Structure 1
């Protein structure tokens, strides 16, 4: 037979079990058990008891003599209530800060840094007031750590005074002090206005990204800047203009400022601090950034490297206080790469891409807007042209065509109801008009088109409603003839072929002439960008 305690442990696992007063004595024993798994189950059940469970626990703590270890464990149970500000839990935790045993105090101090929606100024004052009564190093370290989450200028002053008074600081305490200072400085800097200004002229080495295979279109869009591509999906140039001009490219995915290299002498943390404080690097960051330069460091070849990140952030804070390590509110992502015994960094600004603000909804297998832009640019859509997208998806190609030319007559079709709905929302947001049909590409009766611009879905949608159980080959044997019929003589089919060996013979048999082809990596799926002209 199960004992009463064993039965209670099992009941604690049930979400529908809410303990009552008669369960509390045994539940307390479980909540302070040496077995962590039992403790977790008991505390979860106790939280379901709400304020009555909290009140009983507080009365029990006040009315009996417990060992410091037992009181500390009870304090951890109360802290679970305090985290969500249940009843008087936070008041009770503050009372426990007066406990004569510093083990109990440390539980309270640690808990205060985790309270949601707490008044930080009040917590800071409480901890600073408690500081002078502390005798143990572990408790001092705990207060310093929590001040990193709730402290301000007064906390920085206390920490500096503490450092000045100590003859020697052990490594663990020094790390806590360094991290707390950075956290406080980060939070204080958020009160200052900040942001990026891409309209100021910048001289820097830039790396510009695109889908591999589409580099030539970005080069054409930004031809005055003489972009060079040595790696698929990447282009570089020496830039001397406002960064905002990069957004004249609609095929570009993004960009980064490329720093010079720096020796790893002294370790990676020191090397990165030296690199970011170089005049050529810091000067660009200052020029583009309004207010504090908030950043996040990512070591691309090594993983997180927390110690090196902390060392670099500390050195940067001391040497260039305008640089603030603030991952959650950053304006810059700093990607660090190591090449033999040196490092360099890519400085990536975090700005809103205003080119495609019309994107309200997407569907699986829909084109990325930059791919749609590539197709439309290659097509060279002209004013009052007729354009059909037979695999419309969420209307990326139609919108792009409607943006680059005037009075374009747009038609889109798709069998997927979700795609139809997404397309309508995106078209409305873009202010572009199009006639939408929910039908198969091989069945729409349409003629006289100047352009067919499309990116057939390469994944599940091509094997879904469009295929009605057909093979890919039999599907395109039906679709491509209808595309050819829809084009006027001289009209263009600009698309991403999912399988040129399959589609090219069919297209040629339908009177289409291949004018251009280029393989493109669409992010793990390969396709071929093609331009066909109807003879």
Structure 2
């Protein structure tokens, strides 16, 4: 029986309590929404709405199921529903009435990708002798389904296989360009650049480009030639045209790369140095070491210091070689300009005009021997391929002598996000960093070179130093400490024979005179006994030990306890222990007193760079 409201005028809204049948209930003639609300309810939404088809969102037992009448269109929120018989759409239950566990969502079958992964893992003899032979004998339908064989051949033979067989692989891929199936031709065309092409293959691709009738096929051929084409492609491009500006730029850069290697003039003074802004970047937490090193050497004034960045301006003419005398930063970039936040077309124009500005062109010319080539990167944006393409095409239109080359360019132009826009910075590529000339080899999970330099600076300089790195890796910490001077003898230990060999070669290449060095493959806890090194004879223990991130280390906490105990035993009074520590712990050895601690970002996780000093000897 309906409830009567004596004081409610006719047509007034029904009070809220009469529009519901309890939380999650059903009102006759209305479809309940999630949380027990009518769709016409005007109150605040208590949460996301769910469909009646979702588990747990159906009507309560005993409520009729409301369904739209078939064959009619009803606007959302209408009340044109009729009650139809049907099961409840609530939580799925077993025949015994118990809730069923949620069923896992199955990934769709991807037979092509699964086949490629299997083929990619095969050794090259099995791939060529078995899978390629089977592909060649297959029907057209079977070849279509197993076209991943072509892709796998391109990848596997780019990494392995005898040189003589690669010629046969090229012949096979060229033959597939005549296959009647477009997909197979496309896969073969994509695989060819991975194997590499010679003048004969290049001429064949150019011939096919001249006779191509389908726009898609011609575009694919131009793309391949832009990636791996040489002098013949360049000549054909000049004679016939038809290539896009981006393809012209890539072919020109490829020819320049092969014919005239580009080098940097590190000793040339930078033009327009007055008022120039330079950004030294590195790990957040190490900027204090960078700032101190800059102020100690002179020639530059620090403008600002923020996490991972020290901004400088020169106080006198300088060369890039002067910057590379500093060892605690990772990369150095000359700021070409800043681009304010704006819509994409204007932002692309701003970036391109900054890269190709007269000042930028002058810097490129004065500091480069050979063709000017650079790689554009947006830091923190991922690949951003579409934006990169638009920017470099526009920059090429403005300054055709400056070529974008994503493969082996000596310069990088980095675009860094800043609070007031984007900073465009010209940087020598890391492969040309003269500070790394002694690094003939490396090992997995080795120290980042600037971190090793910062550990050495944290240790400080002491004459007649005798230092030990219990986990020497590639030897960077010991080399950096020796470069500061005052070292008499170095000890390095590691469990890896490969690491010990690499450390020996790197130390020899560093060419540090007057320093005796011994590298031993052993557990650090046994080193002193093996070589009869007296306890209390070392002045420094410096190390970046295993941190358990890139390489899992069982019992890592116990390893650090042993490291502290061994250092306390081997150090002289007032000797130092300098290390990176992933734990929030101090030395359990009372003789080691914490002197300083800095938190450093080591690539996604915080670690502590700590300095301990052994207590002075007690007077007798």
Question: Would you call these one fold, judging by a TM-score over 0.5?
Answer: yes
Q: Does the Cα contact within 8 Å between 2:304 and 2:312 map onto a contact in 1?
A: no
Which has the higher Rg, Structure 1 or Structure 2?
A: 2
Following TM superposition, the consecutive aligned residue runs of length 4 or more in structure 1 with deviations greater than 6 angstroms are 16-20, 41-45, 106-109, 133-136, 460-463
Higher-helix-fraction structure: 1
Per chain length, whose mean CA-contact separation is higher, i.e. which structure has more relative contact order (CA < 8 Å, sep 6+)? 1
Match of 1:227 in 2: 302
Alpha-carbon displacement from aligned partner over 1:243-274 (angstroms, at most 9, x marks no partner): 11112122221212223223546344333222
Provide structure 1 residue ranges, at least 5 long, that are not aligned to the other structure. 1-12, 46-79, 163-175
Q: Supply the distance in 2 between the matched residues of 1:27 and 1:153 (Cα, whole angstroms).
A: 35
- CA deviation digits over 1:13-62, x for unaligned, max 9? 99599689xx99x976x4422873156579999xxxxxxxxxxxxxxxxx
Alignment of 1:101-180 (within 5 A): 118-120=197-199, 123-124=202-203, 127=206, 131=210, 148=226, 149-150=228-229, 151-160=232-241, 177-180=244-247
Q: Deviations over 1:196-230 (max 9, x none)?
A: 11211222321112332222222222212123453
Contact kept, 8 Å, 1:298 with 1:333, in 2: the verdict is yes
CA spacing shift, 1:300–1:490, aligned 2, 3 Å:
closer
2:150/2:188 contact within 8 Å kept: no
Relative to structure 1, is the Cα distance of residues 321 and 484 closer, same or farther in structure 2, using a 3 angstrom cutoff?
Answer: same
Native 8 Å contact 1:215 1:229 kept in 2:
no
Checking the alignment, whether the CA contact within 8 Å between 1:365 and 1:459 is kept in structure 2 is no
Q: Find the aligned partners of 1:199 and 1:482 in 2 and give their Cα distance.
A: 46
Alpha carbons 1:513, 1:532 under 8 Å: kept: yes
C-alpha contact 1:384 1:405 (8 A) present in aligned 2? no
Are positions 1:246 and 2:318 aligned together? no
Aligned partners of 1:217 and 1:360: how far apart in 2?
A: 26
Q: Tell me which residue corresponds to 2:282.
A: 210
Counterpart of 1:255?
332
User: Of 396, 401, 408, which residue of structure 1 is paired with 2:488?
Assistant: 408
Q: Deviations over 1:297-319 (max 9, x none)?
A: 22345544444333333322222
Q: CA contact under 8 A between 1:442 and 1:479: conserved in structure 2?
A: no
CA contact (8 A) 2:490 2:517 kept: yes
In the alignment, structure 2 segments of 5+ residues that lack a partner are 1-118, 154-165, 529-533
Q: Which residue of 1 aligns with 2:468?
A: 388
Q: Tell me what 1:453 maps to.
A: 542
Q: Does 1:472 align with 2:557?
A: yes
Separation in 1, partners of 2:150, 2:189:
21
1:529 to 610, 613, 618: 610
Which residue is equivalent to 2:253? 186
Q: For residue 171 of structure 2, what is the aligned residue in structure 1?
A: 85
CA contact (8 A) 1:222 1:248 kept: no
Deviates most, 429-438 or 320-329: 429-438
Which of 498, 501, 504 does residue 585 from structure 2 map onto? 501
Any conservation in 1 of the 2:568–2:614 contact (CA below 8 Å)? no
Q: Please give the residue correspondences for 1:4-403 in structure 2 after superposition, counting only pairs within 5 Å.
A: 30-33=138-141, 36-38=144-146, 84-85=170-171, 118-120=197-199, 123-124=202-203, 127=206, 131=210, 148=226, 149-150=228-229, 151-160=232-241, 177-190=244-257, 191-202=259-270, 203=273, 204-223=276-295, 224=298, 225-239=300-314, 240-263=317-340, 264=342, 266-300=345-379, 302-337=381-416, 343-350=422-429, 351-403=431-483
1:433 aligns with 2:505: no
Q: In the aligned structure 1, how far is the partner of 2:385 from the partner of 2:600?
A: 37
Q: CA RMSD in A?
A: 4.6
Distance 1:435 1:81 in 2: 48
**Could you tell me which residue of structure 2 aligns to residue 515 of structure 1?**
595
Matches of 1:340 and 1:319, distance apart in 2: 28
The 1:35–1:19 alpha-carbon spacing in structure 2 relative to 1, beyond 3 Å, is closer
**SS of the residue aligned with 1:261?**
strand
CA contact (8 A) 2:466 2:487 kept: no
Q: SS at the partner of 1:458? A: coil
TM-score, structure 1 normalization: 0.69
TM-score, normalised via structure 2 length: 0.61
